[in-house]
A and B are shown apart, each in its own frame.
Chain A
């Protein structure tokens, strides 16, 4: 384990300076957002639905000021607090959605890859269809239906988003399983009567370990956009349940028409920065974990003067020419 980690670190160092820095910056930003989300109750000046303090109502659409550095909304909510609480909501939904789709996708992929036959074909067709479907619409329809069935909330929204990402994990795991079954040493194990399962499981783990972090990181970024899109259309977290950036942006549309910028800017920036960070983290991981994408750095050097390298000066004088 320690050896594996050291090797990964070594590959991080040997990749180019640019991907390495992208990895660091992306990772650090994601970390900051996670800490903010976890510590929201400590950091946020107010509650996400708090519109008054000490008996006085906050200003309506108040400019950014000392009390409300990011201003207030039309409902007199503090924008800074909503942005901070929104990070918490995003983290909850995204972690749930990624974990759900990972579990379902990996399970289905393993079944499909191991069992094969008609079950595999049906699952592949279904997953292809899910994959081809405009995914925002899929999430909308699902949260529309789910909210009728089990009520809205973080779990409902996470479930709606989950379905969108299941096919990707399914594909990765199914593909690895299929190729694991064809491996020469698995064949060899089968020939000598050994159980190939241990080998397959090891191979799978190695493969999944290589591709899943990348897919999961990129999906997390995508899931945040889907969550915000749902919120923007009114199908995500309801305003009474938690603060959600997409919903805040929907409310900001009418503000924008009146020339008010702070209600749109801060939640929008929060989404953008977090998704950028997740994307470059994912791409950086990809370059580190997939050696095929890496390329040897071009190292600069100075070509020394000719005599110095080809012939020792003493002999050069004697050279018969």
Chain B
């Protein structure tokens, strides 16, 4: 029996993976078409002012821009399959390097934000759902709406003004103090891990301090959505027949709420949070910009400003793949939680 069950789970995951392929293909095609329909020549747009005509032609050939468009498309897909996101035009750097070097900072920021959001958002949403239309529910709902409605960069600026400037408690810019940046040896490209590996407690503290404001800022954005989703779904499951039955069997309130109502409410919440990955990545770009956080989003904005098409194309492609990957993960998690999906 166990074999049958895990077999169907494997089959589900297999099907889901196969379904992801056309999605990835469409996303890649979309990125490619978007970047090519733009008029003008990307190479001159990026470097026109700096290089001679010959040099520009040479760069164009190196970047493959002189090939027929279908050839370019085919090459683009072929490179992505080998996880090659191309090279930047302006500083001729592999986009993969950007992802590796700056990805750690983005990963640290987004993970910390998600952890904060789940840690506070779930209990808040649960409480609000249980106390529907009572004063605390209304306060929590308004808070949820507020965190969604306030632009991340505005929240970030307010935090900087209050905790950074007025109180002087926390640093407002960068991932660590310059000293720490310079001294800690890079091993994992995740600064927090590097300081821990180096056994430098002071440096770890410094990095954590720098992380607080950006992570809370980005976390609040996710928190609002999480609170609202949890609340709505808990209200639904609390009114469900199986919850009433559990109560009729004398299962204590706490168990009914947590094991039956909350657990069932989480299935749709997880799905929606998967869709929110797109929101989170967008928010990360803005947060990184606000706090001068050295992540991929920060790099993206720099390359956008330099009109570096290939860098933008590479980074956007990477983000698109991350979104597909997250939605895949979410579906697998849901299949593990909810037996009905697996069949």
Contact = CB atoms under 8 A, between A and B. Distances in A.
Contact of A129 (B27, B164, B305): B27
Contact of B151 (A135, A228, A283): A228
Contact of A257 (B26, B40, B160): B160
A143 to B, nearest CB: 10
Given A136-B285, A253-B157, A259 B151 contact: no
A31 interface: no
Interface string B88-108: 000000000000000000000
A114 interface: no
A149 B38 contact: yes
Interface string A252-284: 110011010100110110011001100110010
Contacts of B290: 253
Contacts of B166: 259
Contacts of B173: 257
A234 B305 contact: yes
Contacts of A267: 154
A141 B157 contact: no
Contacts of B39: 148-149
Nearest to B305: A234
Contacts of B37: 145
Interface string B142-163: 0001101111011001101100
A249 B145 CA distance: 21
A162 to B, nearest CB: 15
B12 interface: no
B interface bracket (residues with beta carbon within 8 Å of A): 35 or more
Nearest to B39: A149
A48 interface: no
Interface in B278-321: 278-279, 281-283, 285-286, 289-290, 300-301, 304-305, 307, 312, 316, 319-320
Contact of A249 (B146, B151, B279, B323): B151
Contact of A133 (B40, B153, B278): B278
B138 interface: yes
B34 interface: yes
Contacts of A133: 27, 30, 278, 320, 323
Contact of B319 (A129, A134, A225, A272): A134
Contacts of A232: 151, 153, 286, 289
A125 interface: yes
Give the interface SS of chain A, mostly helix, strand, loop or mixed.
helix
Nearest to A250: B153
B133 A276 contact: no
Nearest to B28: A129
A233 interface: yes
A232 B277 CA distance: 21
B227 to A, nearest CB: 13
Contacts of A206: none
A241 interface: no
A128 interface: yes
A135 B23 contact: no
B154 A137 contact: no
Contact of A271 (B22, B151, B289): B151
Given A126-B26, A132-B27, A279-B145, A268 B160 contact: no
A122 to B, nearest CB: 9
B233 interface: no
A171 B23 CA distance: 17
Nearest to A268: B154
A144 B312 contact: yes
Given A145-B34, A148-B38, 15 more contacts: A18-B133, A126-B26, A129-B27, A136-B286, A137-B316, A141-B312, A225-B151, A232-B153, A233-B286, A249-B154, A256-B161, A257-B160, A257-B172, A272-B151, A275-B150
Interface of B: 22-23, 26-27, 30, 34-35, 37-40, 45, 133, 138, 145-146, 148-151, 153-154, 157-158, 160-161, 164-166, 172-173, 275, 277-279, 281-283, 285-286, 289-290, 300-301, 304-305, 307, 312, 316, 319-320, 323-324, 327
Interface of A: 16, 18, 125-126, 128-130, 132-137, 140-142, 144-145, 148-149, 221, 225, 228-229, 232-235, 246, 249-250, 252-253, 256-257, 259, 261, 264-265, 267-268, 271-272, 275-276, 279-280, 283
Q: Which 5 A-B pairs have the closest CB atoms?
A: A136-B282, A268-B154, A275-B149, A134-B278, A259-B165
